[in-house]
């Protein structure tokens, strides 16, 4: 029997999950606020606030490596964004965190380290924006900006002002802003430490872990294939080669064909391209190139060459946007998520799952747009009180993850029969199982015509599905599922039905549960409640996806080809007895604490 014991999540990663989720909430709430107000340089304003928040947290939680971990989690949480251009903001957020962390590593956790780190973090936003524009439009953009600069200085009679001085002034403003944000963060964090002893104990929040956001969420209806990820990268590289080396006709045809391909395959991802302002931006850029390419300061108000350059830049931008849309979509594939779930990245994956789980709770309790300008809603104390409660909650959640026994094998290989024999052995030893198995129904010719639900506690049978068409039934493959069957199954898995049971059996978890249908909600409730142990029947090909679906603890995997019902029943019985012993110890400790409190 294969045993998979997840590595315990360190306190550092757990704190990073809390800070990363709070950071992401700031990005979402304040980002929407600034966008609605049409605030210029909103990215820089967000960077300023992010530096303030992270530096303040670093005064209270001083573990080395917390900042870059929180930045990585926040960056990956941008994957919930419907935008195709999620990669740029993800890189920007992570860059800010790394620069701040490196500054503290080199200079120490002192005032110079925080000030220089904060200054570099905010300054990185203008560098990142510049690099993004150059990637999007190429170096022709520099020539257009240079022509506009010369025209503006001539009109203002400032021809002697070198552009380098303006760039230095701009850099100085960003560096001072970053240092200012770090200063405010230091003051906020230290003020909280001084007042901490006088504050009431933070209550643990009630968080619904059945969150709607999932790591690199799959788009409904989107098809994924591993080879399309490198294929799209190669397609963008080829298109850039044609554009940069002025192969105009092949480049136009190529961009049109690739755009059509992306619109066809990733139509859900590129729906933001319907927004008018993107196309207005392309039009203005093309017009700017047309009128300034030959030198607006010399009175050349139109240039065919400039028009061609403008169209070239627009084509390049469309190619990059489409490429990012395609790559961003493929990064949500189950294969990528499975790679994140391997042992080397298990801490990151677990921390991300916790961060995604608490994000809806955080967003629901963040101030609304009209309250954002109130001082108390922007205070660090408000954020850190949330952080303390969330950290306590996540520690408890992590400790009570359920033990799960997965019985796996191929289709019609006897998984249900295996579990039935195992349950007979457990019942004979005095164990009380709950839940259900799903034995097949066959006609006289031996052909399978449906499935029944078998209540493992009472032995009662209920109809679940049939191959005969049923009006109003949900069809999955050749089977029509009765709603009454689903209702009965959910009833057998509810907490009340399992209150006096030693284990829960679910037969089976498959494609429907991976789409959040079928028994998904019932299993999610059991996992969230920490009910343990559970027995799942899962087809062998779906095993990796099912392991990554829920936040569970130790997993025992029994294959019907290699293991026996007797061996699994023995291990299950030991787990049940261990659970009973732990519960007895917990009750005894609670009773002792109550007696101590009642003593005069």
pLDDT in the model for residue 299? 56
- 415 and 460 in a single domain? The answer is yes
The answer to whether residue 578 is domain-embedded is: yes
Closest CA to 148 of 36, 42, 23, 297: 297
Give the chain's domain count: 3
pLDDT in the model for residue 35? 63
- 273 and 380 in a single domain? The answer is no
- 125 and 248 in a single domain? The answer is no
The answer to whether residue 142 is domain-embedded is: no
Q: Using an 8 Å Cβ cutoff, are 119 and 176 in contact? A: yes
Q: Using an 8 Å Cβ cutoff, are 398 and 8 in contact? A: yes
- 416 and 454 in a single domain? The answer is yes
pLDDT in the model for residue 272? 59
CA distances from 97 to 34, 372, 387, 484 (A): 22, 24, 19, 52
- 246 and 373 in a single domain? The answer is no
Q: How far apart are CA 335 and CA 218, in angstroms?
A: 11
What is the DSSP code string of 94-144?
HHHHHHHHHHHHHH-SSHHHHHHHHHHHHHHHHHHHHHHHHHHH-THHHHH
The answer to whether residue 366 is domain-embedded is: yes
pLDDT in the model for residue 408? 95
CATH number for 520: 3.40.50.300
Q: Using an 8 Å Cβ cutoff, are 82 and 52 in contact? A: no
The answer to whether residue 140 is domain-embedded is: no
Closest CA to 146 of 164, 122, 129, 132: 164
pLDDT tens figures, 396-416:
877 788 999 999 999 888 999
**Dihedral (C-alpha) 25, 29, 35, 40: value to the nearest 10 degrees?**
-70
- 44 and 92 in a single domain? The answer is yes
pLDDT in the model for residue 297? 46
Longest dimension (CA), the chain: 98
312: which 2 tokens? 């070239």
- 131 and 237 in a single domain? The answer is no
- 394 and 463 in a single domain? The answer is no
Look up tokens 């859900």; give the residue: 268
- 233 and 102 in a single domain? The answer is no
2-4 and 448-455 strand pairing = unpaired
The answer to whether residue 596 is domain-embedded is: no
Q: How far apart are CA 431 and CA 456, in angstroms?
A: 12
What is the DSSP code string of 158-201?
-TT--HHHHHHHHHHHHHHHHHHHHHHHHHHHHHHHHHGGGSPP
Neighbouring CB atoms inside 10 A of 194's CB total: 8
Neighbouring CB atoms inside 10 A of 360's CB total: 18
The answer to whether residue 30 is domain-embedded is: yes
pLDDT in the model for residue 350? 80
- 545 and 482 in a single domain? The answer is yes
Query: Torsions phi, psi of 275, nearest 5?
Result: -70, 135
- 299 and 429 in a single domain? The answer is no
Q: Find the domain containing 412 and state its range.
A: 400-589
pLDDT tens figures, 477-516:
899 999 999 999 999 999 889 999 999 999 999 988 988 8
Task: State the DSSP code for 212.
Answer: S
- 271 and 367 in a single domain? The answer is no
pLDDT in the model for residue 597? 46
- Is residue 481 helix, strand or coil? strand
Closest CA to 114 of 53, 158, 46, 26: 53
Look up tokens 């499935």; give the residue: 451
Task: State the DSSP code for 341.
Answer: T
pLDDT in the model for residue 579? 79
Q: Using an 8 Å Cβ cutoff, are 337 and 215 in contact? A: yes
The answer to whether residue 206 is domain-embedded is: yes
- Is residue 327 helix, strand or coil? helix
Residues of the chain below pLDDT 70: 5-7, 32-40, 79-87, 144-161, 197-224, 268-278, 292-302, 331-344, 366-379, 582-600
Is the whole-model pTM more than 0.75? no
The answer to whether residue 293 is domain-embedded is: yes
pLDDT in the model for residue 592? 46
């Amino acid at each position: 029997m294969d045993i998979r014991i997840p590595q315990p999540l360190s306190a550092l990663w757990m704190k990073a999950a809390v800070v990363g989720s709070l950071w992401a909430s700031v990005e979402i709430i304040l980002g929407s606020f600034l966008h609605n107000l049409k605030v210029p340089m909103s990215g820089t304003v967000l960077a300023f606030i992010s530096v303030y928040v992270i530096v303040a947290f670093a005064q209270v939680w001083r573990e080395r490596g917390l900042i870059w971990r929180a930045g990585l989690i926040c960056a990956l949480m941008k994957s919930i964004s419907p935008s195709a251009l999620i990669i740029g903001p993800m890189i920007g957020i992570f860059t800010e965190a790394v620069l701040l962390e490196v500054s503290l590593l080199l200079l120490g956790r002192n005032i110079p380290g925080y000030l220089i780190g904060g200054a570099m973090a905010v300054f990185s936003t203008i560098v990142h924006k510049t690099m993004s524009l150059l990637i999007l439009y190429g170096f022709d953009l520099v020539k257009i900006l240079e022509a506009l600069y010369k025209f503006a200085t001539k009109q203002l009679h400032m021809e002697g002002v070198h552009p380098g001085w303006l760039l230095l002034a701009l850099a100085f403003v960003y560096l001072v802003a970053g240092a200012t944000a770090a200063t405010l963060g230091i003051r906020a964090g230290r003020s909280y430490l001084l007042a901490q002893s006088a504050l009431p104990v933070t209550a643990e929040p009630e968080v619904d872990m059945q969150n709607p956001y999932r790591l690199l969420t799959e788009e409904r209806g989107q098809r994924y294939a591993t080879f399309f990820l490198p294929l799209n990268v190669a397609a963008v590289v080829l298109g850039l080669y044609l554009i940069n080396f002025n192969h105009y006709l092949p480049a136009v045809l190529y961009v049109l064909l690739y755009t059509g391909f992306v619109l066809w395959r990733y139509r859900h991802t590129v729906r933001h391209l319907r927004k008018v302002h993107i196309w207005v931006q392309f039009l203005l850029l093309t017009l700017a190139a047309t009128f300034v390419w030959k030198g607006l300061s010399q009175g050349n108000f139109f240039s065919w060459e400039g028009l061609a350059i403008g169209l070239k830049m627009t084509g390049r931008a469309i190619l990059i946007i489409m490429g990012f849309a395609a790559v961003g979509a493929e990064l949500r594939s189950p294969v990528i998520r499975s790679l994140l779930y391997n042992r080397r990245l298990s801490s990151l994956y677990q921390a991300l799952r916790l961060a995604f789980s608490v994000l809806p709770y955080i967003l629901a309790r963040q101030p609304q747009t009209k309250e954002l300008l109130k001082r108390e809603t922007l205070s660090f104390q408000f954020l850190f009180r949330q952080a303390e409660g969330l950290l306590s909650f996540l520690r408890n959640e992590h400790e009570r993850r359920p033990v799960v026994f997965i019985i796996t094998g191929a289709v019609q290989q006897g998984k249900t029969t295996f579990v039935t024999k195992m349950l007979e052995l457990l019942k004979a030893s005095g164990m009380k199982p709950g839940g259900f198995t799903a034995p097949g129904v066959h006609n006289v010719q031996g052909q399978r015509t449906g499935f029944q639900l078998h209540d493992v506690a009472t032995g009662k049978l209920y109809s679940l599905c049939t191959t005969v068409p049923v009006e109003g039934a949900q069809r999955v493959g050749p089977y029509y599922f009765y709603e009454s069957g689903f209702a009965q199954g959910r009833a057998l898995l509810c907490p009340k039905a399992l209150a006096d049971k030693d284990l829960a059996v679910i037969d089976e978890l498959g494609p429907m549960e991976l789409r959040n249908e079928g028994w998904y909600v019932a299993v999610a409730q059991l996992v969230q409640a920490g009910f343990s142990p559970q027995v799942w029947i899962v087809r062998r090909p779906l095993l990796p996806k099912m392991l990554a679906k829920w936040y569970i603890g130790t997993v025992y995997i029994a294959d019907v080809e290699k293991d026996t019902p007797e061996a699994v029943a023995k291990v299950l019985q030991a787990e049940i007895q261990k659970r009973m012993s732990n519960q007895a110890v917990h009750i005894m400790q609670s009773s002792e604490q109550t007696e101590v409190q009642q003593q005069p």
